[in-house]
Amino acid sequence: MNDLWTMIWKEWKDFLFSGGRSDLLRPLLNIAILGIIMPLTFSQRWIDLDTAPVLIILITPFMFVILIISDTIAGERERHTLETLLASRISDQAILFGKVLVTVGYNWLMTLFCLLIGAMVVNLSQRMGQWEFYNPISLFAVVLVFSFLTTLLAASGGVLISLKSPTVRQASQTMLLGLIILGLAISMVIRLLPPGLIASLTTSQVIQIIMLVLVVLDTILLVASLVCFQRSRLILS
């Protein structure tokens, strides 16, 4: 546990203070999109959590994670700091989980912060008689859970790709290709489902199935990352 906290502290410090202006632009861009522009565009529909706003809330942090996570291992390799990290006494599991948790935690908390700002922006722009929050609140909670699971999916898949990539650029290109393949695979699965199957399911059942699929995929990718994280091979690479 001490190794994990040490790794989280190291990654959090590097994540916030090692990238210069990009460290400031990244959260500002996130706030601009999810906290101001989209809420003003959708107005009341943003508060009501219509389909389009929900998709934007899920896709935006997912894309931000894809842009960031490629730097986890490949970036350390390019900066020649990977050897120093691997030579430390920190366990393999702590190194891997520390990188994933910081990336997911930062983006998920930033998403929550942006949603709170977005609610304020909608209320102020419409000059409502009384303040409204996301409605229904149960759907808001579900959106937050899905946001966490999707960002974890991007992070766990991204760190696996980063382990196998010699450069950040190659890792980013592979992740974009993987995202396209994932989208095509989801489209094919939906088309292969028996007609009327989705229509026969309740909204609650659909949510539970999607959530279960995400949990399984997250688990598989994290386990695969742990298996591929071989310290001796990474040092030689």
Q: Where residue 147 falls among pLDDT bands split at 50, 70, 90?
A: very high
19: pLDDT strictly greater than 60: no
CB 136 within 8 A of CB 50: no
Domain ranges within the chain, ordered by starting residue = 2-236
DSSP state of 1: -
Phi-psi region of 95 (alpha: psi -120 to 50; beta: other; left: phi over 0): alpha
pLDDT of residue 216: 93
pLDDT of residue 232: 67
Spatial distance between the Cα atoms of 55 and 46, rounded to a whole number of angstroms: 11
Q: What is the mean pLDDT of residues 132-138?
A: 87
Considering 89-98, 103-112, 220-229, the range whose residues carry the highest mean pLDDT is: 103-112
Q: What is the full DSSP assignment across 52-75?
A: HHHHHHHHHHHHHHHHHHTTTTHH
CB 172 within 8 A of CB 69: no
44: pLDDT strictly greater than 90: no
Spatial distance between the Cα atoms of 103 and 68, rounded to a whole number of angstroms: 8
User: What stretches of 70-167 show up as alpha helix (H) in DSSP?
Assistant: 74-78, 82-86, 92-126, 137-164
Tokens of 156: 């766990």
- Cα 88 to chain centroid distance, Å, stands at 28
Residue 160 CB neighbour total at 10 angstroms: 26
16: pLDDT strictly greater than 80: no
Q: What is the mean pLDDT of residues 151-168?
A: 86
Q: What is the full DSSP assignment across 81-97?
A: -HHHHHTSS--HHHHHH
Q: Where residue 145 falls among pLDDT bands split at 50, 70, 90?
A: very high
